[in-house]
Structure 1
Amino acid sequence: MAGGGMSVADAGRAAAQRVFGDAPGAYGAGVNRLTERSGAWRERDEIGRAYRNRMGHAYGLDASGEASHAAFDVALDGIERSYHGRASNLYGLLDNNDAFDYLGGLSLAVEGRTGRVPEAMILQHAQPGRADVEPLASALLGELRGRFLNPAWLKPLMGHGYAGARTMGQEFLENLWGWQVTRPDLVKNWAWDEVKSVYFDDAHKLGLPQFLGQQHNAHVKAHMLAIFMVAAEKGYWKTDPATVRRMGGELARLVVRNGLPGSGHTAPDHPMWAWLAPQLDGADAQALGVALAKARGDMLTAPAASTLHPAPTHGRSARVVNAQVAPVGAHAPASEPTGTARVYELHEQAQAAVPPAIQIIQLLASLATGSALFALGLWRGRQAPQPARSPT
């Protein structure tokens, strides 16, 4: 670092720094949030750079969280093995996103700097008096098969309704996706095939596809299907077109029926939708296009005024557009041309003009009604008994 323009004293101080983390007051490496927002990046190295940017603040010696990114990069270049300690069995590697946020993020940052993937080890010391060192590969994949693909774990979880479904989707598959992005050397194609077999093909005959599709669980199922489609679109999961059409079609129908599940993998402008739409059946693709346009608030061009059919509802009318659906992934034009209408938008119904003669008759009728009511009130007031006066 002295050769990069730093003084010898500053270079020596930077070289001695060993503890790096977030800026003071910040929390998390940011890797978990980025993997969840899969439409915000295209290359894994983008996430690695985000990790280096967030974690490049030094602590110790005379440093109190100041930005030291150059020193952090030099430290990353020398890492060949990384460790993650597990002092508790409360959380595993796949039911909490901190593990891949830090350990996976560190691996991705080193890979981005050096081109090599550091060896990763898990320090298992949850049991007092016993400490083991286990490779990340066996710990991670053992947890995948021992818990999340295990019918003895899945069946009781189904008894918890939506909470159980959410655990399967948000707290398992989302974290498997995080490990996929940060350590693709460990999460291979077979992992996605086995998850698909258990959760969507019902390999254990537990009724999981029906469980995930019922009531509020349908949002979880849509979220899980979207992760599979994103994994296929980004090239992590290799599968055949028929599988994409079947699973993608079910995802499209769930979105049309229930709306988007509010996931970072299902943002209405996510590139995955444009990739998926041409692979779907025509009806599914068209219905999905309308649902996504509705979510984006895009404009659709009506071919003729006769295609707008107002249906009065308490002074408002829903304008139903019988127009060509905008392509999935397309956005609204910068300017709104004449004859366009927002999908499903409510507009005030224009009131029909009333002739002047009718207006005069309505006014006179209102005045007559008011006079009659006033006279009736006076008459009833006179008929009411007067209170007796006390003698003086």
Structure 2
Amino acid sequence: ARRVVDFEILPLSVLGRPRVDVTLRISGFFRDAFPNLINLFDQAVAAVAVLDEPPSLNPLAAQVRQETDFWMKQGLSSQEAQVRSRYRVFGSKPGAYGAGLQGLIESQNWTDDQDLARAYINWSCYAYTSCPSQEGLGELGGISAPEAFEQRLSQMQIVLHNQDNREHDILDSDDYYQFQGGLTAAVRSIQGTNPQTYFGDNSMTAKPRVRTLKEEIARVYRSRVVNPKWIAGVMRHGYKGAFEMAATVDYLFAYDATAKCVEDYMYEGIAQAYLFDPVVSEFIQSRNPYALRDIAERLLEAQKRGLWQDANLQTLENLRNLVHQAEAVIEQKSTYLEK
């Protein structure tokens, strides 16, 4: 059945490289569906952490020893300090889902990285471990551990998101930017620089591929976002099609706000393909004027926040005019409905 039921620690002589200290940020769905895998990963962390190997070849064990001493100096017992230093699986509070960023992005209720990072950390700082301690139960109960989570963020060099199918892409849902983008923003807020960001394409398990996040964003942008065939396809779905176009723009913007991964030409390309193409613009305005307004406003927000840096003045003026135009159509429709 290809189910993972146990693990084996390869000796360094067989592994042929240093071990890697990995932290998981799991989703609420993963937490609920696969507690056995969380437990297995937690056991693997504990086993690797006690190996007597050089720090340069086993950074996990070295970090656990260092942090155990740190937490003991903060007043924790030896057992509590060891447990906390091994936290490597984090997620949202038991019973909660998401990463806390969707509301901020949708309402534009944020100012800078610190706002996004704080929301992400507050939602993601629950450690899931099978090791019992006085801080919480050992049955994978989520233990609030913001200090431990921030320590993990301060050490993080790479943020990787894996996807095992091609049924949808990273601009199809808010989950992608919330989890990968949110983690990237949190690391950046603590370290002052962006970590390296990657996308793991495991849709073909025999030939997995890893791209930088910027490469994956560019691939999705070219193959779907501004692809005339995709645009023509969603136009067959009327109101819902226009909604999907607006949602795609929202997710692209949010990924850029959190992970700094969108190039200026992409904003310009969306403006040209969605709003300045007379056929497409007329379709959106007639079927879903709210989407027309939202797309134009989101592009203007990208420019205002410094994400879209090379927008020319005429383009911005045209976008403002489209917002006013869409508002007029919406008001007209509302007046008609009231009558």
Q: TM-score, normalised by structure 1?
A: 0.62
The alignment-based identity, stated in percent, is 25
Q: What SS is found at the alignment partner of 1:30?
A: coil
Write out per-residue CA displacement over residues 63-111 of structure 1, whole angstroms, 9 at most, x where no aligned residue: 5112111111111111111221111112201111111110111111111
Tell me the distance in 2 between the aligned counterparts of 1:5 and 1:128: 47
Amino acid aligned to 2:188: E
Q: Which residue of 2 aligns with 1:173?
A: 249
Which stretch has the larger CA shift, 111-120 or 246-255? Answer: 246-255
User: 1:7 offset after TM fit, Å?
Assistant: 3.7
Alignment of 1:1-392 (within 5 A): 1-2=70-71, 3-38=73-108, 40-60=109-129, 61-62=131-132, 63=138, 64-170=141-247, 172-184=248-260, 186-202=261-277, 207-214=279-286, 216-238=287-309, 239-259=311-331
Amino acid aligned to 2:265: W
Tell me the distance in 2 between the aligned counterparts of 1:84 and 1:99: 8
Tell me the distance in 1 between the aligned counterparts of 2:276 and 2:256: 22
**8 Å Cα contact 2:117/2:185 also seen in 1:** yes
**8 Å Cα contact 1:125/1:131 also seen in 2:** yes
Amino acid aligned to 1:55: S
**8 Å Cα contact 2:217/2:262 also seen in 1:** no
Write out per-residue CA displacement over residues 161-198 of structure 1, whole angstroms, 9 at most, x where no aligned residue: 1111111112x1010011110122x2122211111121
Q: TM-score, normalised by structure 2?
A: 0.71
Tell me the distance in 1 between the aligned counterparts of 2:154 and 2:331: 46
User: 1:119 offset after TM fit, Å?
Assistant: 1.3
**8 Å Cα contact 1:32/1:100 also seen in 2:** no
**8 Å Cα contact 2:297/2:319 also seen in 1:** no
Tell me the distance in 1 between the aligned counterparts of 2:321 and 2:210: 44
Tell me the distance in 2 between the aligned counterparts of 1:225 and 1:188: 18
Name the one with the larger helix percent.
2
Amino acid aligned to 1:227: R
**8 Å Cα contact 1:35/1:177 also seen in 2:** no
Tell me the distance in 1 between the aligned counterparts of 2:243 and 2:166: 20
Tell me the distance in 1 between the aligned counterparts of 2:290 and 2:102: 21
Tell me the distance in 1 between the aligned counterparts of 2:198 and 2:317: 39
Q: What SS is found at the alignment partner of 1:222?
A: helix
- Indicate the RMSD between aligned Cα atoms, in angstroms: 2.1
Residues 11 and 260 (structure 1 numbering): CA distance in 2 closer, same or farther, change over 3 Å?
farther
- Pairs aligned (count): 255
Residues 243 and 260 (structure 1 numbering): CA distance in 2 closer, same or farther, change over 3 Å?
farther
Q: Which has the larger radius of gyration?
A: 1
Amino acid aligned to 1:141: A
User: 1:11 offset after TM fit, Å?
Assistant: 2.1
User: 1:211 offset after TM fit, Å?
Assistant: 0.9
In structure 1, the gaps of 5 or more residues are 262-290, 292-392
Tell me the distance in 1 between the aligned counterparts of 2:115 and 2:161: 23
Deviating above 4 A after TM superposition, structure 1's stretches of 4 or more consecutive aligned residues are none
Q: What SS is found at the alignment partner of 2:128?
A: strand
Q: Which residue of 2 aligns with 1:281?
A: none
